[in-house]
Structure 1
């Protein structure tokens, strides 16, 4: 079974009025990326795109360039984050631009990032910028109707005639079953075989309700890091508080978390097997220093061969154990979280070449 690699895709590389208001005029993800500082010796910060390509996602040529890279190196498609707040949308322009340019050869689907937005980047986690609510049937239909032109696009990823749609936090939706049943009916009424809903696996807890998901997907490395033993998680939580207090009292700048070695997290990722029918999840490092500073979580970036070895094992696990062929990689362009397949000044095209090597083994 040939693997299909899908990369999570962040659309926050263009200005919007809300971000101008919340973070300052002209804010995009690049603002955080550029200002990052290294926290220890050999810390790869700031992340710099190859040839300083600080692109704008309202330019269709950027999407065309990304599609060309993906197709050249064996990335089947993108899973774009979708931000919908009961009728209010944020960061929708890149997806709408892709829809309007049918000649851009980029397969895609959506992951509904159904979290409220808060001021987490400056430590004010409880200050809500954009609240999340879910409404009732009229609101669900409005949401579906907005998405319908995307679902009908031939580039939109479908499984057995059903549009693939990920939900990031189904546990947060009190009316999830009713909403999903409604969407299945609406999809059937528009010529599909229902919806292909996919649950995002982020940690130990899963939704216990009998929701009509067709599959699950591993979201790495969050899933793996959240499934450490409780004693370790509690120890790290206490350590963070102690270090934070020490920094405040003595005006020091010690990191609140110790960096993880990539191979350690990759090994644990492979050991935490999911049920049959799950879509595999992989990652290409993780470092949100650009957003979180001393409170960042860091999985040190792998060398090309390290990533290739891990991806090869994850693809084998997915196809042979899970009996599926979709593998989701975190991420295509999470520059402020240190998870990028796009070429950068340090690794060049190495991660994309690794994907191409693994996928070509199945031709």
Structure 2
């Protein structure tokens, strides 16, 4: 029987007022300002993109409750929340702390963290030409003391949440940039020691340890500092670091991490080619890794809102990338491709990630907009079925994969193993 994978959408939490943003950009600023001010850059360019629900404050628990209901009713099991922690503490935390976790129906979705430990530079919007260095806001590489402060905060405030995702009793924790992790902690051996300490910390709090997940990508995307891995070159293959650092699984964040951007047409590029580029690399990872690899499906891509309107839209570094403006039907093809992948590469706890729930300024969002409505969400429900009928959906997927008529879904029995 094909086991229905957990479907997790990455959640980008910059749709509320934050003290750091206020100090950098002004008291009234949130990333909705970029979405509102986006302009068409070529004929047929679909900008600005408008959320069907309007420009809301995600830290409002009532708003969060509506998003949770929307996710749950369309087959999304939960959110992998982009978690920001720098040397002096957290950033963009109110979406989770005051929003998702405070919502009255918070328990209806599973929550886990993806530590977005990349360098933060001023792309809000980028107002310098491609040959100039944008202003650095925070360094993503943090030292052992800052790492330990972060780990204690995570264990005490998030791992203890009843709806936090656990794999065999181990709370899930993804890390976005292995290179920055190793750079900040001082080397591979030092990073292994820090991650082992993190695991011990979780065990002391009553868990079975930490399920460490590495986000792997083949192509750098966001502008960031030139990092070194101890005394080693950044050419070290992250895949080779997975076993030595003790990661339990590997995931992907977005398809553009697995594509040579310069090889695609500009300004509008082909979604099917991007999908195949990503899955070719996924197949390579699955063949080389000794731990499970969980595939990603990307809704679309358009990072032009992070480029100031006065800056020419010409091929270059992020955010001057091609636009992949997907349709719900094209997105559905990606979901079915991911479903085949997890069937062909079975793991004890299969997962499909989606980029993203709400990456409005990068053109990749499941949330309804005024053009496609809830079309992308309906594709998730169509391909994977409802969350509460996971057992019945397994039978439907088996039948479809075998080319026979599926059985009618029935209510699922039993309880979730890893909630």
Question: TM-score scaled by structure 1?
Answer: 0.86
| 2:256 is the counterpart of 1:222 | yes
Partner of 2:56: 55
SS at match of 2:112: strand
Paired with 2:342 and 2:327, the residues of 1 have a C-alpha distance of: 23
SS at match of 1:282: strand
Instruction: Give CA deviations for 1:285-324 in whole Å, capped at 9, x if unaligned.
Output: 1001100251522342222222112211112102322535
Paired with 2:165 and 2:143, the residues of 1 have a C-alpha distance of: 27
| 2:269 is the counterpart of 1:269 | no
Partner of 1:13: 15
Greater mean alpha carbon deviation, residues 78-87 or residues 296-305: 296-305
The one of 319, 322, 332 equivalent to 2:343 is 319
Partner of 1:127: 135
The one of 357, 365, 369 equivalent to 1:340 is 365
How far off is 1:57 after superposition? 1.5
SS at match of 1:5: strand
| 2:120 is the counterpart of 1:151 | no
SS at match of 1:208: helix
Partner of 2:246: 212
The one of 149, 155, 170 equivalent to 1:142 is 149
How far off is 1:271 after superposition? 2.6
- Structure 1, gaps ≥5 residues long: 237-255
Paired with 1:344 and 1:178, the residues of 2 have a C-alpha distance of: 45
The one of 43, 46, 58 equivalent to 2:45 is 43
8 Å CA contact retained: 1:197, 1:212: yes
How far off is 1:199 after superposition? 0.6
Paired with 2:271 and 2:7, the residues of 1 have a C-alpha distance of: 20
Paired with 2:329 and 2:101, the residues of 1 have a C-alpha distance of: 36
The one of 334, 337, 341 equivalent to 1:310 is 334
Partner of 2:401: none
The one of 7, 29, 32 equivalent to 1:30 is 32
Distance 1:203 1:171, change over 3 A: same
Partner of 1:171: 179
Partner of 1:243: none
* Bigger proportion of residues as strand: 1
SS at match of 2:345: helix
8 Å CA contact retained: 1:119, 1:125: no
| 2:304 is the counterpart of 1:289 | yes
CA RMSD of aligned residues (A): 2.1
Greater mean alpha carbon deviation, residues 12-21 or residues 65-74: 12-21
Paired with 1:125 and 1:181, the residues of 2 have a C-alpha distance of: 36
- Structure 2, gaps ≥5 residues long: 186-190, 220-236, 315-319, 386-392, 396-419
Partner of 2:95: 94
Distance 1:103 1:304, change over 3 A: closer
Paired with 2:271 and 2:346, the residues of 1 have a C-alpha distance of: 23
How far off is 1:134 after superposition? 2.1
Instruction: Give CA deviations for 1:257-307 in whole Å, capped at 9, x if unaligned.
Output: 432111121122233313161011110010011002515223422222221
| 2:211 is the counterpart of 1:201 | no
Paired with 2:91 and 2:72, the residues of 1 have a C-alpha distance of: 28
The alignment of Structure 1 onto Structure 2 pairs a total of residues equal to 336
Paired with 2:346 and 2:180, the residues of 1 have a C-alpha distance of: 27
How far off is 1:4 after superposition? 1.1
